Chains A and B, each alone.
Chain A
């Protein structure tokens, strides 16, 4: 059974189709990259996966069960989500931000502590001074790392990333992409990763799904995608040449 399945999903509000006839599956071990221009419906698709938005037609299934059938809180706790704006809690320290979901899940204090330290190490913020800092005392890139660590904290099998490495210098971005690959190279995990950067899509995805105007134009492996002939895929690939 796939971890996630979109079945002919549509989302229509105020007479406009934000998503239409979107179907794909996501299995454990996969990273499906949703690639698309601004406004193509990428964030909406992510929000549908963890039940923050529900389809107006079709179904989104998580672990074989429609999102509308899930207990909304249980569903979200099982999924790690890095929202587009990161959204760290300004009144929580770095350690409290990362430990949030384990704490909500009732982990013991030493377990939360251990997990937080482990993640801080993995995201390269291992030195003790970072634990007690507040988000405003971090650089943008460091905040994004903390956002990723927070999503990974309770070790969810399914991860949603909404342009987590936007607005970073190319070197840091590359570094974080390497970290992402290391953190998600786990045959039990699956990720949906949103980006509008074709390079990033080809580097991180086991499959690339191209969203154009709310419709899936192509779903392909990175190798196949490089040879794709559809309109937007060509336009994105042209970006690789300059």
Chain B
């Protein structure tokens, strides 16, 4: 491998990781509380899950198109990419948080209430620990998907490993395409393995 190519791979992998990490951080910070909110407010369930579902069905290029003209979150560059990736990652996180908590044995929750736990204590001491594995599975799926999807970000100047892929397509150069695709695949595998390992550690008792 030429040294300048090796340098590019490192730099673009770094950019890629920043895209993925920022969008996942945003998706987790929004998605977990949203999922918790759904277990508390039945009325919101249809709306929020519906929104997350719809967000996921919009083709990513179209979503970029919608976001670019929006001030503050839009524009050309990584910011728009991060916002869109976060929107895509939202559904699995919200859904798994909701399903994980709703799936905690009703008798266990009932006894927690009967013992005089407040809603916050029920959530922190009982529901979140027992749902942690399911919530984490959602984060894992979202992360792995995001690593792949983030390659499209290069289409609007977001940087990352997609730069190689788009360049390779434009110049019909499969070496360039591989220079983007292989590191992205490796990142996805590493993320999957790493998160899977943590997930198994989280198994309640």
Query: A residues touching B (Cβ–Cβ < 8 Å)?
Result: 50, 52, 73-77, 81, 83-92, 100-101, 104, 134, 136, 150
Contact = CB atoms under 8 A, between A and B. Distances in A.
Contacts of A81: 111, 114-115
Contact of B115 (A76, A85, A134, A136): A76
B116 A76 contact: yes
Interface stretch (B27-35, B90-98, B102-110, B134-142): B102-110
Contact of A91 (B110, B118, B205): B205
B37 interface: no
Nearest to A105: B116
B107 A86 contact: yes
B204 to A, nearest CB: 4
11 contacts: A76-B113, A76-B116, A83-B110, A86-B107, A87-B112, A89-B108, A89-B111, A91-B204, A104-B115, A104-B121, A150-B115
A89 B116 contact: no
B46 to A, nearest CB: 23
A171 B110 CA distance: 29
Contact of B105 (A50, A87, A134): A87
A87 B110 contact: yes
Contacts of A92: 205
Interface residues of B, number: 19
Interface in B121-163: 121, 126, 129-130
Contact of A73 (B110, B116, B130): B116
Interface in B33-63: none
Contact of A85 (B107, B129, B204, B205): B107
B130 A91 contact: yes
B181 interface: no
B117 interface: yes
A173 B149 CA distance: 60
Contact of B108 (A50, A73, A90): A90
Contacts of A73: 116-118
Interface of B: 105, 107-118, 121, 126, 129-130, 204-205
Nearest to A71: B116
Question: Residue among B110, B112, B126 with the most chain A CB within 10 A?
Answer: B110
Given A52-B110, A73-B116, A90-B205, 15 more contacts: A73-B117, A73-B118, A74-B116, A75-B116, A87-B105, A87-B107, A87-B112, A88-B108, A88-B111, A89-B126, A91-B130, A91-B204, A100-B115, A104-B116, A150-B115
A2 B170 CA distance: 86
Question: Residue among B111, B112, B116, B118 with the most chain A CB within 10 A?
Answer: B116
B107 A83 contact: yes
A242 to B, nearest CB: 32
A50 B111 CA distance: 12
A83 B113 CA distance: 11
B132 to A, nearest CB: 9
A52 B105 CA distance: 18
- Please give me the 10 A-B residue pairs with the lowest Cβ-Cβ distance, nearest first: A87-B111, A76-B116, A85-B107, A77-B116, A87-B107, A91-B204, A81-B114, A134-B205, A91-B205, A73-B116
A91 B129 contact: yes
A81 B111 CA distance: 8
A65 to B, nearest CB: 16
A77 B112 CA distance: 11
